[in-house]
Structure 1
Amino acid sequence: MKKQINRIIYILGLLLPLTAWSVSAQTVVSGVVTDSKDKDPLPYVTVLFKGTNIITKTDGDGKFSISTSESHTQLQFSFVGYKTKLVDIKAGQSQNIMVKLDPEATSLNEVVISRGKRPSYKNKGNPAVELIRKVIDHKEANRMESYDQVQFKQYEKMIFSMSNLSEKFKNKRLFRKYQFLFEEQDSSKIGGKNILPIFIEEKLSQNYFNKNPEKNKTIILGEKTVDYNSPLIDNKGLSQYFERMYAHINIYDNNISLLSNEFLSPIADASPTFYKFFITDTIKTHSPQLIELSFIPRNNTDILFEGKIYITMDGRYAVQDAFLTVNKNINLNFVRAMEVKLDFDKAPDDRYYLSKTRLLMDFGINKNKGGGFTGERTVTVKDYQINVKQPESVFQGPKVAIVPEADKRSEQYWTENRLDTLTAANLKIYKNIDTLSKMSSFKKTMDLVTLLFAGYKDFGPFEVGPVNTFYSFNSTEGLRLRLGGRTTPALSKRYYFETYAAYGFKDEKWKYFLSATYSLNNKSIYSFPQQYIRGSFQRDTKIPGQELQFVQEDNFLLSFKRGENNMLLYNDFYRLEFMNEFENHFSINVLFKKWNQKPGGSLYFNNIVNGQPNVVDHLNTTELTVGLRYAPNEKFYQGKIYRIPIFDRYPIFNLRYTAGLKGVFAGDYNYHNISGSIDKRFYLSQLGYADITAEGSYIFGKIPFPLMDIHRANQTYAYQLNSYNLMNFLEFVSDHYASVNIDQNFNGFFFNKIPLLKKLKLREIVSFKILYGGIRNENNPVNDPSLLSFPVNSAGVATTYSLGKEPYMEGSVGIGNIFKILRVDMVRRFSYLDHPVVSKYGVRARVKFDF
């Protein structure tokens, strides 16, 4: 048991470092760099230990911190327009110093001496602002998209490591077998201590762009990544997640997407409103002459950059070089430091194109000490050609194409085709992870972590779980125990079987599930793209109106609910399903379902037959459903039970048609249901982002209320994005409806302006949901007593309704980023307040990890 606990601690150290690690004795120097003349702090001064590449830069306030475990006694300070200065330090100690840099005499054209308060910063009459406005005016002419045709070869390298590890942590007994994983951190990275590389990916591609009509094509020539060979780790999902965090950077775009946030570019149209600009140097040795333009945010907690850009003075006003970082007070979670270096080269027509991007980020729970993560993405462009027209065949097919065997390229191929260097230490990552994945101790540890985080215990060809469903309770079933599992690819890559059995001690009924799946593409049914046929039978309960994402209905945490919660359905489902996903993220799903439902708890099916009350024991339905889904550019992380979406700006379209088949397998009803939805995230630059969902449905035919759309309700205390959080289960049903949900996250834009709140880095959230719907006269039991009556409570008061002319509306005002993980909303219900057991207000919470 002790060995198992040690193994769990080990893997948590590998994948989830949520504790601060101790730091060995070392030289730590912090301080402030100022101008010796006017005492102003100097941002972006280069600070390094003399004779090394252990380097950092001062922030926007002139402050810096640098450390090393090596023995060095001098720090070097250098900045354009100032004399380089060496400062003696004490090795092996922590110290704080004040450094004053002297301006170079040749860089002073005039000296202005003033007394009293320094004049406030203004845009009007500011030469730096006039210069940036010229850069903005020339943006379109300097973009790649200004060319008729462009083609280039691109090499991407992504490395992710656990960083800032102390010698004490490295030498723990737990890691005795894994010393080969540790190495000294590359001195060009932020830090300078031991690192543990855990991920590397390389990609080589040929890219084409055509302006009119606008078309893009990327052909992946080669790709290589580490493989943990573990069911817990989705290598492709990790790659997509890192690509989203470290997205492509185009400084000519108004907004730059990083860490799922939108940073306003320093040359965005609105940049003078949010940034302060300063001309800090003129570089006459470069041809053409360059102006060094420094910039800082007006509010240092906003999602903005600070740094320098170098502007050509040849009339093009193009960006020739750029260095971007962020203020230490920025409203970002877990980000210790960020550096972006953009290099531009001349195109054949003497304009500039982005030839190399280097993005480096350092993460940690504690921003000042302890272990963390370092991620580095480098993109190199070569063979840049303009206005070379390509045949139409180049752009045919998907925008991103992968050549056959691209992921099986030899080492010789990579040696000959890499457009950037890969150090010997980086090359070792592939071998180290391959060795690690084959070690029995690592496999056993991953097995335990899979149980802890994915909820399944692996027994080779079969796995048991998910564990969070083993125990739950509700008012109808009472104590509910469940045990289940499923087969794994170790048994077969073609056939999959899944089952569970559950028992309610109050209703004394068994529930169970059996399914068999055949993979049509000889891949795991849990990997993209899915192609399978599945047959299943399920006998279980369901709360009408409860629709959940990413969690199962008998999850233990969902046992806790507000209000009355004593209506459910006992269901028998026979399903035959076909699923086919395509590489372009279009999918088709065909489902044949026979459904028998019986009321349970306080729910009853009653109607009037020949003027007499009648009890209906059950409903039989046979359905055929065809679902179409299109999610262009969708990215996700594939989990054991579900997919975790990686949100982006691209919409998701759903269209579904269901036909009820009377007389087929004892089906009782004929009807047709057409429904659709659109989900999209809108990025609003400094105002954050808005998630908007629009959906609607229309049912043709005469049906009882259990077959109508039972609107999604929530009686838990968790805030659910896609449900109505103050609506009761089975409160509203419709045979036609339309709805819009808006969830606006301002990313702290307003709180950042309030002195007492900005240090807490809280974020404002506003949501609004509106639902229009109703029931046609032919489906209203008031007009036709032969239809099932709406449910009533013990006092005979109706608890289920149709929507009238007034829509159902609710909204919320929330505070996010509490302790970096918690969102709390005050929810307000605006309509239908006269219904029984409803609340006008409610407080709901949601756990959410955001950068």
Structure 2
Amino acid sequence: MHKLWIYILFFFCVTTIAAQTPEKEIEKPKDSLESSVLLKQIGNGFFPTKIWNFDLRYLIKFNQYEGFRTGLGGVTNDAFSKTFRIDSYGVYGFKDHKFKYKIGGGFRLNPETKTWINISYIDDLMETGSSNFLTDGRFFSFFEPRLLNIDLFHKHITSAVSIEHEINPKLITETEVSISNIRPTYDYDYVLDNTSYGAFETTVAKVSVQWNPFNEYETKDGITKNTEDGYPKFTMQYSKSFKDVLNADFNFSKLDFRTIHKITHNKDSHTIGTFSAGLAHGDTPLTHLYHSYPNNINKETILQRFSVAGINSFETMYFNEFFSDRFATLIMKHYVKPFHISKHFNPQLVLVSRYAFGNMNNISRHQNVSFGTLKHGYTESGFEINKLLLGFGLSFTYRYGAYHLPREEDNIALKFTFNITL
């Protein structure tokens, strides 16, 4: 728990710096303008230098397997080259005492369509049951609180070639072919055709599409910028694993989908919904299935489970409690008009409901692990009170319905929230 408080203190310091920056000024001196530009770049996830932009995602993180994970990484900028980039990182986990890294780079094929071909070699960890969209790599979240609680990882050594392409500003794509050697860090075997796989190889092709049909853009001096976010937004990805291609062990496919819609009631109140779904077909090991975004630590009491609430995660669902080969989730958040208590104290109430459905075929293939399915439908609801102090707030969530637990306090999640925009 003391490590968690140290991590929260780090972000507390960051928010203190951000809070001291004036939001509006009639005339800004040059130093102030430069500071604003720097804060905007930090908000996008990078600290710029002359030829290298440091990626803040690698600076410091914490999870239950690695403990503190710290290192350096980033990407070269246009001052280095407009047609070639280096994209690499190196990090160290203080609990598992392991070094992880990525060596990568890219070549720009077409500046008008922002077409890049990238190559990479990665030796790192990945959360079991996670399913990430390739196009999400273009977007940055300043703080990913759910990462604090993850404990189920698998090691992977992955070589990949990918192509980024912008059909138009509202429609971007990314295609990747990768070869991975995968070894779970936990006791697990996947049994197929009387053969037990404690480690395995995959050869996977992915195609990801991000479509934002209602975004507004403007082009100035040949640079296209997003001027207004429109909704709904859509993301889709298809993955195919090929058995016996470059020594791969399994044939399976996955189809993932996500849409986000926002309804603005007035300038101070809105409702946002996120629908996610996934389907895995074929001989799919647990590492490549779905966990439905749990964010509750497996501890005895409510206070021991006190941590930081995620953005789109299930706060009362325990880690590794459920896995699925097909699932759907719906997360609804209604942001009530802020309470204008004083000039600098405007907390906001957010009403939250989350739903999940899922199931799995061939559960017996997954050996040495225990989990349930979501075939009866999972429900939780609660509220957040955000912006109580420098981006921090509180959340309360209650688990009910088919998966309500016998001991009442096990159905309750009380956590911090953290929201900041630089």
Q: 1:161 to 1:476 in 2, by over 3 A?
A: closer
Q: Which residue of 2 aligns with 1:522?
A: 111
Q: Distance in 2 between matches of 1:655 and 1:696?
A: 10
For 2:120 and 2:416, locate their aligned partners in 1 and report how far apart those are by CA, in whole Å: 36
CA RMSD of aligned residues (A): 4.2
1:743 is the counterpart of 2:366: no
Residues 471/772 of structure 1: CA separation in 2 closer, same or farther (3 Å cut): closer
Candidates 534, 537, 557, aligned match of 2:121: 537
TM-score by length of 1: 0.40
Q: Cα offset for 1:762?
A: 4.1
Distance (whole Å) between structure 2 residues aligned to residue 833 and residue 790 of structure 1: 25
Question: Which of 1 and 2 has higher RCO (CA within 8 Å, sep 6+)?
Answer: 2
Question: Is 2:356 aligned against 1:802?
Answer: no
Give, in angstroms, the shift of residue 769 of structure 1.
0.9
Q: Which residue of 2 aligns with 1:83?
A: none
Asked whether 1:490 is paired with 2:71, we answer no
Question: Counterparts of 1:622 and 1:811 in 2: how far apart (Å)?
Answer: 40
* TM-superposed deviation, 1:827: 1.1
Deviation at 1:743, TM superposition (A): 0.7
Structure 1 counterpart of 2:323, from 722, 733, 744: 733
Find the counterpart in structure 2 of residue 668 from structure 1: 249
Give, in angstroms, the shift of residue 729 of structure 1: 2.9
* 2:153 aligns with one of 568, 575, 592: 568
**Partner of 1:845 in structure 2?**
416
> Secondary structure of 2:357's partner?
strand
Identity of aligned residues (%): 18
Q: Structure 2 residue aligned with 1:625, among 189, 195, 206?
A: 206
1:694 Cα offset (Å): 1.9
Match of 1:606 in 2: 189
3-state DSSP class of the match of 2:317?
coil
Alpha carbons of structure 1 residues 672 and 164: separation in structure 2 relative to 1, 3 Å: closer
Match of 2:290 in 1: 709
Partner SS, residue 839 of structure 1: helix
Partner Cα distance (1:698, 1:761) in 2: 42
Distance in structure 1 (CA, Å) of the matches to 2:390 and 2:61: 29
2:293 match: secondary structure: coil
Given the superposition, is the C-alpha separation of residues 479 and 746 from structure 1 closer, same or farther in structure 2, using an over 3 Å criterion? closer
Residue 683 of structure 1 aligns with an amino acid whose one-letter code is T
Q: What is the letter of the counterpart of residue 114 of structure 2?
A: Q
User: Given residue 572 of structure 1, which amino acid in structure 2 is its aligned partner?
Assistant: I
1:70-129 Cα distance to aligned partner (Å, 9 max, x none): xxxxxxxxxxxxxxxxxxxxxxxxxxxxxxxxxxxxxxxxxxxxxxxxxxxxxxxxxxxx
Residue deviations 1:770-820, cap 9 Å, x none? 1111012xx221xxxxx23252xxxxxx3x22223x111111122234358
Which residue of 263, 275, 284 corresponds with 1:682?
Answer: 263
Q: 2: CA distance between counterparts of 1:654 and 1:467?
A: 25
Change (3 A) 1:827 1:646: farther
Distance in 1 of aligned mates of 2:146 and 2:357: 28
Conserved in 2, the CA contact under 8 Å of 1:712 and 1:724?
A: yes
Unpaired segments ≥5 residues, structure 1: 1-14, 21-159, 166-174, 182-195, 199-227, 234-445, 524-528, 638-643, 782-786, 792-797
Q: Distance in 1 between matches of 2:27 and 2:212?
A: 39
3-state SS, counterpart of residue 732 of structure 1: coil
Change (3 A) 1:452 1:582: closer
Q: Contact 1:545–1:713 at 8 Å: present in 2 too?
A: no
1:846 alignment partner AA: T
Question: Which residue is equivalent to 1:723?
Answer: 313
Which residue matches 1:780?
Answer: 363
> What's the secondary structure of 1:162's corresponding residue?
coil
Partner of 1:461: 51
**1:545 touches 1:729 (CA, 8 Å); kept in 2?**
no
Cα distance in 1 for residues equivalent to 2:21 and 2:331: 38
* Equivalent residue for 2:20, pick from 14, 18, 21: 18
Residue in 2 that maps onto 1:825: 395
1:460-497 deviation line (CA, Å, top 9, x unaligned): 3334x335634455454355442334322112101101
Higher CA-based Rg: 1
Q: Quote the residue 2:355 is aligned against.
A: 770
Amino acid corresponding to residue 534 of structure 1 in structure 2? N
Q: Output the CA distance in 1 between the equivalents of 2:386 and 2:217.
A: 23
Return closer, same or farther for 1:566/1:814 CA change in 2, 3 Å cut-off.
closer
Aligned to 1:400: none
Letter in 2 for 1:504: G
Q: Deviations over 1:292-329 (max 9, x none)?
A: xxxxxxxxxxxxxxxxxxxxxxxxxxxxxxxxxxxxxx
User: CA–CA distance in 2 between the matches of 1:826 and 1:585?
Assistant: 37
User: Per the alignment, do residues 677 and 807 of structure 1 end up closer, same or farther by CA in structure 2, a change over 3 Å counting?
Assistant: same
Alpha-carbon displacement from aligned partner over 1:148-167 (angstroms, at most 9, x marks no partner): xxxxxxxxxxxx972389xx
Contact 2:44 2:140 in 1 (8 A): no
1:469-488 correspondence to structure 2 within 5 Å: 469-478=58-67, 480-488=69-77
Give the Å deviation of 1:550.
Answer: 3.0
**Contact 2:215 2:230 survives alignment (8 Å):** no
**By how many angstroms is 1:700 displaced?**
2.3
Q: Is residue 814 from structure 1 mapped to residue 375 from structure 2 by the alignment?
A: no
Closer/same/farther in 2, CA of residues 607 and 593 from structure 1, 3 Å limit: closer
Question: In structure 1, how many angstroms separate the alpha carbons of the residues matched to 2:406 and 2:357?
Answer: 17
Report the Cα distance in structure 2 between the residues aligned to 1:833 and 1:840, rounded to whole angstroms: 7
CA deviations 1:814-848 (Å, max 9, x no partner) are: 22343584442211122534499x93111233333
Partner SS, residue 209 of structure 2:
strand
Structure 1 letter corresponding to 2:126: K
Secondary structure at 1:710 match in 2: coil
**What is aligned with 2:100?**
511
Letter matched to residue 102 of structure 2: F
1:621 counterpart SS class: strand
What SS does the corresponding residue of 2:287 show, helix, strand or coil? helix
CA deviation vs aligned residue, 1:391-428 (integer Å, no higher than 9, x gap): xxxxxxxxxxxxxxxxxxxxxxxxxxxxxxxxxxxxxx
Aligned residue type for 2:352: S
Q: CA separation in 2, counterparts of 1:538 and 1:655?
A: 24
Alignment of 1:133-532 (within 5 A): 162-163=25-26, 233=37, 454-456=45-47, 458=49, 460-463=50-53, 465-466=54-55, 469-478=58-67, 480-522=69-111, 530-532=114-116
Counterpart of 1:583? 168
Per-residue deviation, residues 273-297 of structure 1 (Å, max 9, x unmatched):
xxxxxxxxxxxxxxxxxxxxxxxxx
SS of aligned partner of 2:366: coil
TM-score by length of 2: 0.75
2-structure distance, mates of 1:511, 1:610: 34
How many residue pairs get aligned? The number is 383
- Write the deviation string for residues 624-678 of structure 1: whole angstroms up to 9, x where unpaired: 11222210232699xxxxxx99874521112222111111111111122222222
- Check the 8 A contact 1:605/1:615 in 2, yes or no: no
Cα distance change on mapping 1:765 and 1:647 into 2, 3 Å = farther
Q: Which amino acid aligns with 1:494?
A: T
Change in Cα spacing, 1:835 to 1:646, as seen in structure 2 (3 Å) is: farther
Distance 1:583 1:844, change over 3 A: same
Q: Distance in 2 between matches of 1:452 and 1:652?
A: 21
User: What CA deviation, in whole Å up to 9, does each residue of 1:17-51 have, x standing for no partner?
Assistant: 8368xxxxxxxxxxxxxxxxxxxxxxxxxxxxxxx
The offset of 1:701, in angstroms, is 1.7
The one-character-per-residue Cα deviations of 1:152-201 (angstroms, maximum 9, x if unpaired) are xxxxxxxx972389xxxxxxxxx7xx6xx9xxxxxxxxxxxxxx9x6xxx
- Give the partner amino acid of 1:162: E
